[in-house]
Amino acid sequence: MREDIDPGRRERYMPSMIDDKIKSLNILIAPDKVLRAHARPVAAHDNQAVRELIPRMFATMYRAPGIGLAAPQVGLGLRLAVVDLMTNDKPAPIVMINPEIVALSKELATHEEGCLSLPDQYADVIRPALVKVRFLDQSGARKEIEADGLLSACLQHEIDHLDGVLFVDHISALKRNMIMRRLSKDMRQKREDALVG
C-alpha cells in the first residue's frame, strides 16, 4: 500500500471529505447478504479505488449522519473503515485500512449502539472497554490507536462489519429478533410511503 500512495497528496483527502460536491454512496440495509460477508484485505491494486472511495465514504457518513462507516456497508468487500466522533463538533477523521485488533481489555463497558445499516434501531452492547487497533492510514503509514469509551466501541463496531458481524449479534436472540422485525416493518413502511408520495 505505502509504495503506491503519495504521502504528499494527503491534504487532498482531508478537505474533500466534507465537500458538498462529493456524491454519497448507497448504504446497504440489513439483512443484505453483503453485510454478512468477510471483507478481503486491501491490496496494492486497490489503491486508486481506495483513494477515490475514502472521501465518498466520509461524505456518506457525515450526511447520514453517523460516526463510522465500513466499506461493506456501501457494498464493497474491502477491509476499510472510516470513523469520526466529531468531538466538540470538530472533524477528527480516522481512516483504517486493513485494521486488526491487537489487544482488548478484560474489563467490559456498555454503550448504546446504532448502525447506518440498521436505521433507527438501537441497543445496549457490551464490549471490551479498551481496544488497541493496528491499521494503515490513507498515506500507507502503519498506525496504532488505543481507545476507550465511545471511540473503543466505535472501532470495534466498524471492524466487526469487516467480518460480517452486526451490533445485534452481540445482544440476546430475543432482542435481535425484535430489532430485525421492527427494521423490516420500518423499511416496508418507507417503501409504501415512497410509492404513495
Write the DSSP string, 23-88: PPPPPP-TT-GGGGSPPBPP-GGGHHHHHHHHHHHHHHHHHTT-SEEEGGGGT--BSEEEE---GG
Domains of the chain, residue spans: 2-170
What is residue 124's DSSP assignment?
E
Match 498506525 to its residue by C-alpha cell: 143
* Residues 74-91 pLDDT 10s: 999 999 999 999 888 888
Q: Is the model more confident about 19 or about 170?
A: 170
Catalytic-labelled residue, pool 3, 52, 113, 158:
158
Region of poorest pLDDT, from 40-49, 104-113, 133-142, 184-193: 184-193
Tell me what pLDDT residue 58 has.
96
Tell me what pLDDT residue 168 has.
98
Identify whether 158 is a catalytic site residue: yes
Which superfamily does 2-170 belong to? Peptide deformylase (3.90.45.10)
Tell me what pLDDT residue 68 has.
98
Question: What mean pLDDT do residues 3-19 have?
Answer: 41
In whole angstroms, how far apart are CA 90 and each of 52, 169, 176, 181?
A: 23, 31, 34, 36
Q: Taking the model in full, what pTM does it have?
A: 0.87
